[in-house]
Structure 1
Amino acid sequence: MVNEMFLGLPASPNGDTVNIGDVSYKLKTPKSPELVPQNYISDSLAQSVIQHLRWIMQKDLLGQDVFLIGPPGPLRRSIAMQYLELTKREVEYISLSRDTTESDLKQRREIRAGSAFYIDQASPHDAQHGSGCSRSTQR
């Protein structure tokens, strides 16, 4: 007998819970719907991906952090985006390189109409406004 898990999407557009196997997540309305990933979930997901999504959901429900480890490639990001789309959570992407400085992560200087001013980047903005957005980083 094969033990398969199924991804239970909300039955209606107004559905308020998502089920993966025996784990349920109550959906919340996103503050910024434009930041919710789209078109990452396909009609047929591999059982291994569904198992990863279930594990992430369990960690999320417990309020624990998740760190995905794997070989180079897009699978980890794809799984993260699928989970965020499934749970209607917002994401902002921060790309890190060896040229990224601390100030790049804190503020960005812009010049408009001859005046310079600073705009908070994602991390300090969320710290000040209590945003629950998920963050994705790449090295």
Structure 2
Amino acid sequence: MATIAKRNQEATQEELSLVRSYLLLTFIHKVFERDCRAIGKSGLFKMPQLYMEMVSIGAKKTAVMLQEVKRELDSQNVVITTVRQNQHGVEAGYKCRGIAGEMQIEWPSFRREMTLRMRAYLGLAGEFSIQAREERSGHMAVSI
């Protein structure tokens, strides 16, 4: 796994996993929302409402999951203090029971997990993916 975390003795693997999920779900939700708007405005689809509905379902699932992750972070006394992205990946600063920590997820790992999760939220997890072949040769642009 390409996650780099400056761990302290206080942050458990479960808490770090919650921070990672928070980051992924936040980015995924924004991508789904942006894509839904783009589909509606593009004028390229004969029946954009069908595609918008599918992407909207993914956005709703991520919103519910993000709320659950936030509740769990609160219950475990973990606070996300900063979220930044740079050329290397996504970074999050957090406080776990008052002790500061930092997590960085490099872009290749972040994009790969985003794609897997997005496919699952859209009900495509078991389907053959043309995109999987394309990902080996190129990169998906992710910017929020």
TM-score normalised by structure 1 residue count: 0.23
Q: Which has the higher helix share?
A: 2
Greater relative contact order: 1 or 2 (C-alpha under 8 angstroms, separation 6 or more)? 2
Larger Rg: 1
